[in-house]
Amino acid sequence: MKTLARSIAVIVIVVVVLLVVLRITGFPPTVFGAGLWLSGHRVTQPVADWSFTDNYPTVEIQTNTRYLLPHSVRIYCVTYNGQLYLNSIVPKGAPQYPLGRQWNQDVARDPHVRLKIGDNLYDLTLRYVTDPAEHDGAMQNTFKKYPKFRPQAGTTYNVFRATSGN
């Protein structure tokens, strides 16, 4: 029984040390596709015009998972009327919002995210866009920014509007 207790204690200590190391290093999403914490310079000023993001092909998003560890991935972003929008393309036949991609599920449960653009971190709140005109405007700009994407029948395009602050 003592051996089992010691083994469990060692495993717990190793996991805690690993999480501390990962928290310090960040473990960005470029490693193994998805990552944990994003690191960079935190920007606290609200952003009035997000058009500078047009120069970035992708950004990184960190969401809050239900198991208390962050989840971060690279995603696409676009601006429309000076506002920032994040896109999630859900292929035909895949579960729809709020299902689908893991980060979509996380946002449906907790809309507070951290976005990394260049070396800067922005704490934002995401709102799922339900207005057809706003959705279509953001998607038109998406198709302009990313010419490889074309509207496809049966494909769902989830669009989220980002606002400053949590």
pLDDT digits 0-9 by tens, 139-166: 999 999 999 887 777 778 899 999 986 5
Q: What percent of the chain has pLDDT over 90?
A: 57
The reported pTM is: 0.82
Q: How far are the Cα atoms of 20, 67, 68, 78 from residue 8, in angstroms, in the given order?
A: 18, 20, 21, 47
Q: What percent of the chain has pLDDT over 70?
A: 87
Q: How many C-beta neighbours within 10 Å does residue 88 have?
A: 20
Check residue 154 and give its pLDDT: 75
List phi, psi (to 5°) of 37: -75, 145
**Is the distance from CB of 120 to CB of 133 less than 8 angstroms?**
no
Task: Identify the weakest region by mean pLDDT among 9-13, 66-70, 156-160.
Answer: 9-13
Average of per-residue pLDDT across 28-55: 85
What distance in Å separates the CA atoms of residue 98 and residue 66, rounded to the nearest whole number?
A: 14
Spell out the domains of the chain, with CATH numbers in brackets.
2-164 (2.30.110.10)
Closest CA to 28 of 67, 58, 66: 58
Please identify which residue in the block is written with the tokens 């400053």. 164
Structure confidence at residue 129 as a pLDDT band (50, 70, 90): very high
Contact of 75 with 104, CB cutoff 8 Å: no
By the 8 A CB rule, do 158 and 103 touch?
no
Per the prediction, the chain carries an average pLDDT of: 86
Please check whether residue 71 is in contact with residue 65, taking contact to mean a CB–CB distance below 8 angstroms: yes
